[in-house]
Structure 1
Amino acid sequence: MLGENHSIHHEFPDFHQKIDELANADPAFKALILEHDKLDKQIRGLEMRESPISDPEMERLKQDRIRLKDEVYHRLSHH
């Protein structure tokens, strides 16, 4: 679905408290979340405005977002 919110808090509703605790305790984890959410906002903006971007470039952005989400989940599940 175009323009759907994929922010970390939205993607992991059961981990809200843990996300906040880790973000406050670990600057690298906080940076990872911020990078993911910034990329998600960029993707949603491109989708909603139908900005000119090639399909391969959009796929690359989405793959980067998935990679970041996977890394966040990995850190959440191992803490």
Structure 2
Amino acid sequence: MSYVDDHNLFNEFPEHTDRIEYLWKQDADFATIAEEYHSLDKRIRGLQMSGIPTSDYYFEELKKRRCLLKDQLYHKIALPYSAR
């Protein structure tokens, strides 16, 4: 079995750990998106590690959705910093 990257938000944005924790507790929209992101990342990693045959189209769609969610989350994470 080969190594599979963990795209957990805390791994992706370690410099924003405090902000992520704060938003997860205080912003229901952020929490909903973050939960979907983490669930999707777990599913993608599970498929990568299991070797279960999956169509390239399906796998790429999952990764595109994860990327879209990550962009939405980053916008919420970084917005206050970019407004300075």
> How far apart are the structure 2 equivalents of 1:17 and 1:33?
15
1:73 counterpart residue number: 74
- Taking every aligned residue pair, what percent have the same amino acid on both sides? 37
Deviation >2 Å, runs of 4+: none
Q: 2:14 and 2:63 mapped to 1: Cα distance?
A: 21
TM-score by length of structure 2 reads 0.88
Displacement of 1:2 in angstroms is 5.5
The alignment of Structure 1 onto Structure 2 pairs a total of residues equal to 79
TM-fit CA distance, 1:24: 0.7
The whole-number CA distance in structure 1 between the counterparts of 2:3 and 2:47 is 9
Preserved CA contact (<8 Å) 1:40 1:65: yes
Are the aligned partners of 1:2 and 1:44 in contact in 2 as well (CA < 8 Å)? no
Q: Are 1:61 and 2:57 matched, yes or no?
A: no
Q: Which amino acid aligns with 1:14?
A: E
| Aligned partners of 1:43 and 1:62 also within 8 Å | yes
- The normalised TM-score by structure 1 is 0.94
- Aligned mates of 1:71, 1:19 — CA distance in 2: 13
Q: Which runs of 5+ in 2 are unaligned?
A: none
Larger radius of gyration, structure 1 or 2? 2
